[in-house]
Structure formats: structure tokens, C-alpha cells
């Protein structure tokens, strides 16, 4: 089963144009309004209150008028607050307005204050919004967010940018968003998850991928089974590869240890830690299976399956020299933390990285991505998909741009967004464990693309399981994420149906 397709706004418009060019073009606005009305009736409505529909000046407002007409036909009390002008509506939205009025529908101008509202339907603005909401629209959004009634958003919460997930001044906080044709990146990254509530996709009878193959997809649990296969009985530790972690400068040994433990627990055959701190211990008493060495001793070690460089690496001259050595090795390479900072600070390393024939994985958070792209953090966050794609193209790498809705991108222009994970991951050492997990997957034979998708999903899924166990995300640790990831990975590979 393929993962759910995601389309940016320009591609949704192209799909709509393709649909309009069919011999029998579908009435997409009518289908959208009906689908939303059915969802509203199933999820939110009894027979007790009024449905308030906020209809904006564009086609999203037209969807709202269609929804209102169907709900009225089903004997619900519906009030429509319309913020536009009939004369300025598109032909399709104008027809929806007229059909609503023809059945006796009310059109109001102001948010009702005394009515008992059972559901608010946000049909103010759709995926084409580019400007900040101010003035009357800001007041309406504030009124919606202050109200006790649940909110159903049509296509996207008004004020949320469909491609980036950033809030445009202010944003409706929905309990549920019914999005049409396909999912959009802004629903699942940056501020989207905090404002969309449950996301329900209604394809409106279109097979979007037959009209326009998707470049983006959501990452699901199926990524785990695709990355690895069950182990043959006739195997040994060498079968599953040697992971070498380079890092652990003075005061940061723990970062390298966490990465090494993540790699070992997720299946690497052997794990070497190359530590820069000369005073570092020679044994990890918690995980004595790890082999602790000097960084200079292991960076050129024979029979490496994968190099993980960056956890606790620091930014010294010695660290920079080790990074350069690692980039020259033609084996799979994971660059994280200070390896990314060093790479961003030295333009001479960029072409060396881009020319690598072996897979390179980058795992930056937004600040590290900004250093690599020589731009501001705000620019990265303004379009996370574009930033991840730019990094992958510049460094000929697979990139995981971390954050809410981690964006994974390949240098072939394809991208994915991960939806597993929760705020419990906002804790020290989590990125170190992720880099170790990626190293383990690569060492066991996963491709760069499958490793990065499976790794970020697994990392987030472990935190989700821990959140359920703990009753919340507070106090989650990187160590327990690594242990939980091991259990999830085993279940996925050996019992994929369960």
C-alpha cells in the first residue's frame, strides 16, 4: 500500500484543471460541500443547535454555501455569515450562493452572539491565501477561537498557509479539517498540526495521482517493513554491519554514547565510538557492547558499513579534520549536529560532499539548515519543503529537516513528511539517538531513502508509544526512545500485520 500523496497548491490547481478538461468534468465544489456536510452530520451534529457557516469571498466560501444547503435539506438550522460580495464571486461560487438563497437560506454579515451554536464551519479562506489576516477577518478568527463550539475547517483552517504550515497573522484552530482532493503540506508541518485537529481527506471522486503523479507523500508505518526484511537464520554480526560514530568531544561524550546505543539497539552488528575527548571512559558501563576508541583510530577503520559523524563532535580543528576525512570515505555517511555546523561554515567542504558517490544523509534542525543554506531560520521555516529540497540538491544527499512534520527530501526532487512524534522529543539527546538509528538501518542494508523515512518515523513512533505509557510527553528521555524504537522495529519487521 502506497503512502498518502501530498500536493502543494500549484499542483492542486493543475489537478483541478485536468479534471475540468475531462469529457465529463466533475462538479468539484458540489462534491466538496456535500462531503463536508456528510462529515459534519456524522461527527458533530445532533438535533439541538445551530450550525454557523462562515463563508469567505472565494471558492472556499462557495464550498460553505453548498454544505449549508445540504445541512438545511437535512433539517438542521443553519446560519451563513458571508464576508464577500455576490457580484465578485466566481461563476461556480455564485451558483452555490444563489442555490442557498433559493432554498430560503439566510445570509448574515455579522457573527451571531445570542444563538446557541452546535458547530462552526470555517469556510473563509482556502489554500490560495497568501496574505496575513487583519481587520474584520482577524476579528472573526478571534471570535471562532474564543467560542466553545467545535470547529470544522473546509480544506484548510483559515489563516494557515497551505504549502508551509505557517500562520498568516492569525489562524482558526479547528477540531477537524476536511481537506479536498489530497493532503497539503501545510496541514502536517510547522504550525499545521496545532491548528488542524483531525485531518480527513476526501478525494471528491478524483484519482489525483492518475492526473498528476505526486512528488510528496506522508510517511506511514509501512516505511519500517520496506526498510528491512526479517533476518536469515544463517547470519552473524558481520552480516548487519559495523557502525562507526565520530563525536564525543570534551563535555559531550554523552551525545556519542546515545547515538551508539541507538545504533546498537536498532540492529547494527557492531558499533564503534570514536571519541575526541582524551579523558573519555574506555567502557560504557550501561552498554558495554559498545567499543570505545579514539576518533583518529576508527575514522579509517576497515569494514565499516556506515559512518555517523556529529553527535558531540564540537567545532575544533580536530573535529573539522575528522569531518573532512569522513566525507572522503566512500561509505554511507550520516551527518548530524556539529558536523552540519562545520559543513555550513566551510564552503570548501560543500563540493566534496556533493561529489560523494556513496549515500549521504543530513539531519538538520532549522537553525542548522539555515547555516547550510546561508539564510535565516525564518526563511527555512517559511517553506520547509523547499528548504529540504534545496539542501538535498546542494549536497547530493537525503535530508531530514527536523521539527513538527519532519520533511525528508531526496536529491531527485521527491519529498515526504512524517506525522509520528510529539513534544516529548523536545529533549536533550533525541537527535543523537535518531542519527544512531539511521546508522543502524544503513548498516543493515537499507537504502538511503528507505533509511531516512523509516528512521524518522520510528523515532517519532517510539515517542508516541512512550507518551501513551507515561500519560503525556513530559520527561521523556532519549534513552527510553532508543529502547522503545527497538521494540517497534521488531514488531514491524517480524509481525507487520500486527
pLDDT digits (tens, 9 = 90+) for 203-219: 999 999 999 999 999 99
Decide: pTM greater than 0.85: yes
C-alpha cell read off for 253 = 561524550
The SS3 of residue 349 is helix
Residues 85-133: pLDDT tens digits?
999 999 999 999 999 999 999 899 999 987 789 999 999 999 999 999 9
Q: What is the pLDDT of residue 498?
A: 42
Return d(Cα 498, Cα 496) in angstroms, integer.
Answer: 5
C-alpha cell read off for 89 = 464571486
Nearest of 344, 309, 289, 326 to residue 439 by alpha carbon: 309
The SS3 of residue 108 is strand
Residues 367-402: pLDDT tens digits?
999 999 999 999 999 999 999 999 999 999 999 999
The SS3 of residue 251 is coil
Cα 234 from chain centroid (whole Å): 38
Burial of residue 10 (number of CB atoms within 10 Å: 0-12, 13-18, 19+): exposed
C-alpha cell read off for 414 = 521527491
Enumerate domains of the chain plus CATH numbers.
5-214 (3.40.50.10260), 222-494 (3.40.1190.20)
Return d(Cα 53, Cα 214) in angstroms, integer.
Answer: 32
Residues 42-82: pLDDT tens digits?
999 986 779 999 999 999 999 999 999 999 999 999 999 99
Long-range pairs of 315-323 with CB within 8 A, sequence gap ≥ 24 = 315/341, 315/342, 315/345, 316/249, 316/276, 318/276, 319/249, 319/276, 320/346, 322/246, 322/274, 322/276, 322/295, 322/296, 323/246, 323/349
Amino acid at each position: 500500500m502506497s503512502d498518502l500523496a501530498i500536493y502543494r497548491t500549484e499542483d492542486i490547481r493543475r489537478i483541478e484543471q485536468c479534471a475540468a478538461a475531462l469529457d465529463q468534468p466533475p462538479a468539484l465544489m458540489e462534491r466538496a460541500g456535500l462531503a463536508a456536510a456528510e462529515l459534519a452530520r456524522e461527527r458533530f451534529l445532533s438535533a439541538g443547535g445551530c450550525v454557523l457557516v462562515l463563508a469567505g469571498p472565494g471558492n472556499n466560501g462557495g464550498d460553505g454555501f453548498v454544505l449549508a444547503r445540504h445541512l438545511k435539506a437535512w433539517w438542521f438550522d443553519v446560519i451563513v455569515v458571508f464576508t464577500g460580495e455576490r457580484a465578485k464571486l466566481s461563476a461556480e461560487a455564485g451558483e452555490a450562493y444563489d442555490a442557498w438563497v433559493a432554498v430560503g437560506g439566510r445570509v448574515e454579515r455579522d457573527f451571531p452572539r445570542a444563538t446557541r451554536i452546535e458547530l462552526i464551519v470555517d469556510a473563509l479562506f482556502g489554500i490560495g491565501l497568501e496574505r496575513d489576516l487583519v481587520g474584520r477577518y482577524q476579528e472573526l478568527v478571534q471570535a471562532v477561537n474564543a467560542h466553545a463550539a467545535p470547529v470544522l475547517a473546509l480544506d484548510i483552517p483559515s489563516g494557515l498557509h497551505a504549502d508551509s504550515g505557517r500562520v498568516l497573522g492569525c489562524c482558526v484552530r479547528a477540531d477537524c479539517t476536511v481537506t479536498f482532493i489530497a493532503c497539503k503540506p501545510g496541514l502536517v508541518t510547522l504550525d499545521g498540526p496545532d491548528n488542524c485537529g483531525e485531518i480527513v481527506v476526501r478525494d471528491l471522486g478524483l484519482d489525483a495521482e492518475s492526473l498528476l503523479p505526486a512528488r510528496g507523500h506522508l510517511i506511514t508505518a509501512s516505511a519500517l517493513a520496506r526498510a528491512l526484511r526479517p533476518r536469515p537464520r544463517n547470519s552473524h554480526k558481520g552480516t548487519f554491519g559495523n557502525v562507526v560514530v565520530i563525536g564525543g568531544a570534551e563535555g559531550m561524550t554523552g551525545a556519542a554514547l546515545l547515538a551508539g546505543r541507538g545504533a546498537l539497539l536498532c540492529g547494527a552488528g557492531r558499533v564503534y565510538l570514536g571519541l575526541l575527548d582524551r579523558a573519555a571512559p574506555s567502557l560504557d558501563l550501561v552498554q558495554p557492547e559498545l567499543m570505545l576508541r579514539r576518533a583518529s583510530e576508527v575514522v579509517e577503520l576497515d569494514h565499516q558499513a556506515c559512518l555517523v559523524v556529529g553527535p558531540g563532535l564540537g567545532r575544533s580543528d580536530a573535529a573539522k579534520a575528522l569531518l573532512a576525512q569522513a566525507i572522503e570515505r566512500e561509505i554511507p555517511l550520516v551527518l548530524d549536529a556539529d558536523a552540519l555546523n562545520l559543513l555550513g561554515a566551510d564552503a570548501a567542504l560543500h563540493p566534496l560532499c556533493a561529489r560523494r558517490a556513496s549515500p549521504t544523509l543530513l539531519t538538520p534542525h532549522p537553525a542548522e539548515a539555515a547555516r547550510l543554506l546561508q539564510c535565516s531560520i525564518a526563511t527555512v521555516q517559511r517553506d520547509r519543503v523547499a528548504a529540504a529540497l534545496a539542501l538535498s540538491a546542494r549536497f547530493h544527499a537525503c535530508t531530514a529537516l527536523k521539527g513538527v512534520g519532519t520533511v525528508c527530501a531526496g536529491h531527485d526532487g521527491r519529498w515526504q513528511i512524517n506525522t509520528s512524534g510529539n513534544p516529548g522529543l523536545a529533549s536533550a539527546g533525541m537527535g543523537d539517538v535518531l542519527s544512531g538509528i539511521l546508522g543502524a538501518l544503513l548498516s543493515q542494508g537499507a537504502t538511503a531513502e528507505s533509511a531516512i523515512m523509516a528512521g524518522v518515523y520510528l523515532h517519532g513512533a517510539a515517542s508516541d508509544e512512550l507518551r501513551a505509557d507515561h500519560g503525556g510527553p513530559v520527561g521523556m528521555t532519549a534513552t527510553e526512545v532508543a529502547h522503545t524504537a527497538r521494540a517497534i522495529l521488531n514488531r514491524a519487521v517480524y509481525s507487520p500485520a500486527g
